[in-house]
Structure 1
Amino acid sequence: MLVPGGIEIGQEAWARPCDGFVSLDCCWGPRLRRTKWGGLIDDGLRGSGFFRVAERDGVFWLVDPAGGRFLSKGVDTVRFDQDRIGGTERVPYAEACRTKYGSLQIWRTVVSDRLASWKFNTVGCWSDELVASAGSQLLATAPTAELGASFRLHRREQVFPDVFDPEFSAHIRASADQRCRHRRNDPGLLGTFIDNELYWSPDWRGADELLTLFLNLPSHRPGRVAAISGLQAHYRDFAQFNAVWRTQARSWEELGRIEHVVAPFVRLRPGVLNDALETKANLADPAREAFSADCDAFVAVVADRYFELCVSAIKTADPNHLVLGSRFGYQPLAGVIAAAGRHLDVISFNCYEFDPGPVIDAYAATGKPCLIAEFSFRGDDAGLPNTKGAGPRLATQLDRARAFEGYVAAALSKPNVVGYHWFEHADQPAQGRFDGEDSNFGTVTIDDRVYDELTKTMTRVNAAAERIHAAAVPAVI
């Protein structure tokens, strides 16, 4: 397969003569020398004992603890006890592996070596971290601290954690200390994800804006007070505000007491096409434009506070490792992306499209590297319902393999990408897991049989990943 930059993925590419970007093969030798972490040995880089970020000729890389040029190639949910059948205590994958391997430790060793043989180097989110050191090749780990989510669970009325609540800051510091401090000297820790798929704006979960969610918190919550204060500072008087928002209140004081504020407009989920439609709608209606500006301004303030507090808390507990972002479930509003860029070491996002390029481009404006924390494709020939779960459904396992190859090649052609994590290790139960998902996301079946077409392609593409990324063309700013 020819990928962006003119490099072929395949064994024949090793023997090609030097010409342009392909001369990298000659510089690194026909057999690329790697560190014990799997990074490419690069005389221009030095190890710090921990993973870090570097930029070379406009292309971002991770640097492994030994100084190797590294891309994080990961698999999520690598665990023996993956996926209980919803409403039961049955874990079909564990049942099959207990019969097949006899013990958890043997399973760990087999799976660790199997992932390494497929040229993966990272166990991603929700994984058994002991898998990383159980085999003959060291693998990196990338856990999530779930800082914001754990605070929200204490405040059941909150869809998004109230970052203005003084208790939020205290909770974040205590949680980061508990969940991150013990890892501070671990060389195998790639970095820490703060959260997973928080609700930033309209998406598949609902049409609410973050601003209206905060306006509808209980009247005593700091987030509601902050939202009203921001609106009050922006508008000259209440009548001007209400000309846009059309609430039943007659004053700022009454706005603080009414039970429910209904948004005067419903916006589309952020994205290139929807953003163009929103711009057209705003030009046709000044009130809608004002409403959109209010929502955008507020979510930018929330995002800045969220990332500032969370990154500070994690860095205080663990100053040695990268903060990998909050795994955006979709491309958020521009103000959220800008805030992420100001505070994070790496911006992470989940993207279940065929081509991640447009989403990657949206994050490139921050000047920060990004990591794809989830992507996948489902095959309808696996015998699973595939009725619930993200991403495209394809006809066959061969189609899954081809989609993986195209997706990763497109991602690595972008200079700011430093890794990609496949969701997930094993298939979901046909009966559905806790949320009903019942899909063919696995590299193996629920009986631990390997999907050969997929994993052979993964092996080939993963082995070529550094050469593909070295040919990425830096963006012209």
Structure 2
Amino acid sequence: MAEWTLQSPSTQPAKIELIRLLKEKYKDIAVLNDKWNANYLSWDALLQSKEKPSVDSKEDCMHFTDIIVESYFKYIREEFKRIAPNKLYMGCRFAGKTTERVLKHAAKYCDVLSYNIYTYSLENFKLPEGIDKPIMIGEFHFGALDRGLFHTGLVATENQEARANAYATYVESALRHPNFIGTHWHQYSDQATTGRFDGENFQVGFTDICDRPYLETIRKIREVGYNMYTIRNGQ
């Protein structure tokens, strides 16, 4: 994040703050140049630069990245709890995965960690050593091309029967995992054949574009739902 910050315009607030911290640490631009193996003529030259910093800047860049991430989760939590003190702060929904460095900051402030995980099973999902938090799945889905639209979405299955079974496998794997507290399907209905704003037209709904349910999947949803506590309790 600090590397992107240094490649931003000179008016970018985070860049201004980063250079303020660097000035505070190094005092003289020549000292920073020596540390970074760089050749900035002045602090203002660093501010105006949009070039990617050298690899020798990594220590300082990672430190500022920590500041950004810590601030992000900390201040959102503070404001969230001020407005809704009895609600759970569920984080930002990581897209599939994130770095351990970011996750440690998130775990410090989030009541629940949230992920969008598009895969067939959560059985092998693990949090880094030392982190033990509840997890909510913000998005998952499966699609098939035997009925409905012309795109399977992010996780393909052979047909509607296989799609229903994939739903059951995924949700049951979450029920058996000690960290997962819920799974949220994306999305209720198939997307329009003509596509949304970016052309996405996935066959991923519980119903098609005429509001007709995909009965194979609906039956599996009911089957898993009726047995969820039995599965959760390992019976």
Corresponding residue for residue 256 of structure 1: 47
Corresponding residue for residue 138 of structure 2: 373
Structure 1 residues 62-89: Cα deviation after superposition (integer angstroms, max 9, x where no partner): xxxxxxxxxxxxxxxxxxxxxxxxxxxx
* In 1: Cα distance, 2:34 partner to 2:162 partner: 56
Matched residue SS, 1:379: coil
Corresponding residue for residue 240 of structure 1: 34
If the length of structure 2 is used for normalisation, what is the TM-score? 0.87
AA aligned opposite 1:380: L
* In 2: Cα distance, 1:364 partner to 1:429 partner: 43
Structure 1 residues 39-76: Cα deviation after superposition (integer angstroms, max 9, x where no partner): xxxxxxxxxxxxxxxxxxxxxxxxxxxxxxxxxxxxxx
Corresponding residue for residue 122 of structure 2: 356
* In 2: Cα distance, 1:446 partner to 1:240 partner: 62
Matched residue SS, 1:361: coil
Structure 1 residues 332-382: Cα deviation after superposition (integer angstroms, max 9, x where no partner): 111211111111111111011122344x41267422211011101111112
* In 1: Cα distance, 2:147 partner to 2:4 partner: 41
Corresponding residue for residue 226 of structure 1: 17
AA aligned opposite 1:338: K
Report matched runs for 1:199-218 at 5 Å: 210-218=1-9
Q: Which has the higher helix share?
A: 2
Matched residue SS, 1:308: helix
* In 1: Cα distance, 2:193 partner to 2:129 partner: 39
Q: Which has the higher contact order (CA 8 A, sep 6+)?
A: 1
Cα distance 1:295–1:352, how it changes in 2: closer, same or farther (>3 A)?
farther
Gap runs ≥5 in structure 1: 1-209, 265-286, 473-477
Corresponding residue for residue 403 of structure 1: 166
Q: For the aligned residues, what is the CA RMSD?
A: 2.5
Corresponding residue for residue 177 of structure 2: 414
How many positions carry a matched residue from both structures? 232
Would you say 1:425 and 2:188 are equivalent positions?
yes
Cα distance 1:371–1:298, how it changes in 2: closer, same or farther (>3 A)?
same
Whether the aligned pair in 1 keeps the contact of 2:6 and 2:52 (CA below 8 Å) is no
Matched residue SS, 1:349: strand
Would you say 1:331 and 2:121 are equivalent positions?
no
Matched residue SS, 2:201: coil
Corresponding residue for residue 317 of structure 1: 83
* In 2: Cα distance, 1:364 partner to 1:415 partner: 15
Whether the aligned pair in 1 keeps the contact of 2:176 and 2:234 (CA below 8 Å) is yes
Cα distance 1:378–1:297, how it changes in 2: closer, same or farther (>3 A)?
farther
Identity of aligned residues (%): 30
Structure 1 residues 375-433: Cα deviation after superposition (integer angstroms, max 9, x where no partner): 0111111231217x4x2222211111121122122222221111111111000011111
Report matched runs for 1:147-296 at 5 Å: 210-230=1-21, 237-243=31-37, 249-258=40-49, 260-262=50-52, 287=55, 293-296=59-62
Corresponding residue for residue 461 of structure 1: 224
Gap runs ≥5 in structure 2: none
